Amino acid sequence: MLSMDWIKEHQDEVQAVALHKGIDVSISEVLAAYEQRKRLQMEVDDLRQVRNRSSRQVGAHMQAGRQEEADAVKQQVIRLHDQLTGLEVALQEAERQLTALMLLVPNIVSRDTPIGRTDADNVPVRHVGIRPAFGFVARDHVELSHLHDIVDIPRGVKTSGSRNYYLKGTGVLLHRAVQQLALDYLMQLGFTLMDVPLMVRGEALVSTGFFPLGKEQVYRIADEDKWLVGTSEVPLVSCYADEVIEVNKPLKLAAASTCFRSEVGSAGKDVSGLYRVHQFAKVEQVVICEAEPELSEQLLQDITRHAEEILQLLELPYRVMAVCTGDMAQKTYKQYDIETWMPSRQSYGETHSASNLHDFQARRANIRYRNAKGKLTFCHTLNNTAVATPRILIPLLENHQQEDGSIRIPDALQPYMHGLKMLVPTL
């Protein structure tokens, strides 16, 4: 979240960002709620002092044998207590209202973030790689999967409903291989590998900026305050919630985890194949660093480059997009998406996302460090998708297909595929 002082000084800017991000919150209401809470807090503090002073007077009168005076002050203390109880209830309600409003306030955006409403307004930064020019009628990933007997969508739907699937045989190998390739790559760069909880408390989703907005995208465990994560960013960041940590060197974390997403609001979108599914796997990068804008900007470039280099190892053409305000999450300060060429779509499809959140997420999660002057300061946090599967299997299968239906395995992936250089159709 943003600091209240910053919101007060930049009210118009914050309101404009809320409008651009499509968040229904009135910053003037936020400030009014803050003033109401502050006024009530002062009244409560003043009344507590009066009550405590009166209570001490009762003791003094009793000790001096002035029973009548003691009884009179006792009655005053009772009235003060009743009045204070009412004020404390009002204060609690004011705090609840302020918190609810503050949780809707968006992060500001960088000066170089494009202004726009949807992903159609995202701006290309660079194109990398050469799109394949097939001399034959190319198959899509669904047809290729059937030809190689590596994905079974009908049985996935039969078992678990729409947007579910089974991976089989070399499909499982591919799924695991791209994850291990990404993990090995990040480990060589000094990232600490972690295996994380997939169920978290609602508090973890609030503190990382996924709740209250976006709540409809998360699966809940019935009758419990436990939720299935859609990214290991949540448990990775939450691992350090309410801690003062050492970030003289940026804290670099990576995790491979199963992820879950309800896809509410996506009815009719990408219903065929593996593009938009309820269960998937991601290798996620999370970086926690000092609150230095130049440093976190450089780290954003770094983690984006990591994802690009993994795509280059997979020999896939892609483009990097500067994400516009309307396509950003509430918590994001600056974001790049990477879109990989998918021949069956005749377009690029999003496969990666990299975000710099500045101190917005760390304020919610209360993650701090001591700066050079010894002052407790909220960290900056960043995150990036190193690879997500099975979505990455779409371009992997489609771009490397051959006329006979076989699929070439990129050199970097072959050691993870037991040396396989080519997938040969089984049907």
Is residue 391 part of the annotated active site? The answer reads yes
Q: Is residue 107 part of a domain?
A: no
Smallest Cα–Cα separation from 113: which of 304, 384, 321? 321
Q: Is residue 111 part of a domain?
A: no
d(C-alpha 415, C-alpha 133), whole Å: 27
Q: Which of 68, 102, 136 is a domain's end point?
A: 102
Instruction: Say which of 261, 363, 364, 368 is annotated catalytic.
Output: 261
Confidence check: pLDDT of 369 > 70:
yes
Contacts of 17 (CB under 8 A, 6+ apart): 106, 107, 108, 109, 325
Same domain, 209 and 87: no
Average pLDDT over residues 409-424: 97
Mean residue pLDDT of the chain comes to 95
DSSP 216-281: GGS-B-TTSSEEE-SSTHHHHHHTTTTEE---SS-EEEEEEEEEE---TT-TTSS-STTSS-SEEE
**How would residue 404 be classed by pLDDT, with cut points 50, 70 and 90?**
very high
Q: Which of 102, 134, 165 is a domain's end point?
A: 102
d(C-alpha 46, C-alpha 40), whole Å: 10
Same domain, 54 and 135: no
Confidence check: pLDDT of 116 > 90:
yes
Is residue 350 part of the annotated active site? The answer reads yes
Helix (H) or strand (E) holding 200: strand 199-201
Confidence check: pLDDT of 135 > 80:
yes
Query: What six digits make up the tokens of 214?
Result: 């976006």
The pLDDT of residue 48: 84
Instruction: Say which of 276, 319, 345, 408 is annotated catalytic.
Output: 276
Q: Is residue 251 part of a domain?
A: yes
The pLDDT of residue 50: 79
Q: What are the tens digits of pLDDT across the range 243-264?
A: 999 999 999 999 999 999 998 7
Q: Is residue 108 part of a domain?
A: no
Same domain, 222 and 262: yes
**How would residue 171 be classed by pLDDT, with cut points 50, 70 and 90?**
very high
Query: What six digits make up the tokens of 352?
Result: 């990666």
> Lowest mean pLDDT: which of 80-94, 139-153, 254-268, 363-377?
254-268
| Coil, helix or strand at residue 136 | coil
d(C-alpha 57, C-alpha 59), whole Å: 5
The pLDDT of residue 82: 84
Average pLDDT over residues 400-422: 97
Contacts of 183 (CB under 8 A, 6+ apart): 193, 254, 256, 283, 386
In contact, 409 and 420? CB cutoff 8 Å: yes
> Lowest mean pLDDT: which of 41-45, 62-66, 165-169, 271-275?
62-66
In contact, 141 and 273? CB cutoff 8 Å: yes
Same domain, 212 and 327: yes
Q: Is residue 213 part of a domain?
A: yes
Q: Is residue 110 part of a domain?
A: no
Smallest Cα–Cα separation from 262: which of 336, 408, 162, 135? 162
**How would residue 79 be classed by pLDDT, with cut points 50, 70 and 90?**
confident
Contacts of 346 (CB under 8 A, 6+ apart): none
The pLDDT of residue 286: 98
Residue 101, number of CB atoms within 10 A of its CB: 18
Is residue 96 part of the annotated active site? The answer reads no
CB burial of residue 401 (10 Å; 0-12, 13-18, 19+): buried
Instruction: Say which of 233, 297, 339, 350 is annotated catalytic.
Output: 350
Same domain, 295 and 345: yes
Same domain, 76 and 218: no
Is residue 261 part of the annotated active site? The answer reads yes
The pLDDT of residue 181: 98
The pLDDT of residue 59: 73
Query: What six digits make up the tokens of 390?
Result: 């099975």
Confidence check: pLDDT of 352 > 90:
yes
Q: What are the tens digits of pLDDT across the range 184-232?
A: 999 999 999 999 999 999 999 999 999 999 999 999 999 999 999 999 9
**How would residue 68 be classed by pLDDT, with cut points 50, 70 and 90?**
confident
Same domain, 87 and 149: no
Smallest Cα–Cα separation from 319: which of 331, 334, 307, 332? 307
Residue 191, number of CB atoms within 10 A of its CB: 22
Range of the domain at 316: 119-423
Same domain, 134 and 76: no
Is residue 353 part of the annotated active site? The answer reads yes
Query: CATH code at 86?
Result: 1.10.287.40
DSSP 37-102: HHHHHHHHHHHHHHHHHHHHHHHHHHHTT-HHHHHHHHHHHHHHHHHHHHHHHHHHHHHHHHHHHH
Q: Give percent above pLDDT 70 in the chain.
A: 98
In contact, 247 and 371? CB cutoff 8 Å: no
Same domain, 235 and 356: yes
Instruction: Say which of 353, 363, 364, 368 is annotated catalytic.
Output: 353
Q: Is residue 76 part of a domain?
A: yes
Confidence check: pLDDT of 267 > 70:
no
The pLDDT of residue 137: 96
The pLDDT of residue 269: 67
Helix ranges (DSSP H) in 103-169: 141-148, 153-160
Query: CATH code at 270?
Result: 3.30.930.10
Average pLDDT over residues 156-166: 95
Q: Which of 56, 73, 102 is a domain's end point?
A: 102
Same domain, 46 and 132: no
State the total domains in the chain.
2
Same domain, 97 and 125: no
Smallest Cα–Cα separation from 273: which of 410, 379, 377, 391? 391
* Per-residue DSSP letter, 425: -
The pLDDT of residue 268: 66
Q: What are the tens digits of pLDDT across the range 305-335?
A: 999 999 999 999 999 999 999 999 999 999 9
Same domain, 351 and 401: yes
Q: Is residue 112 part of a domain?
A: no
Confidence check: pLDDT of 55 > 90:
no
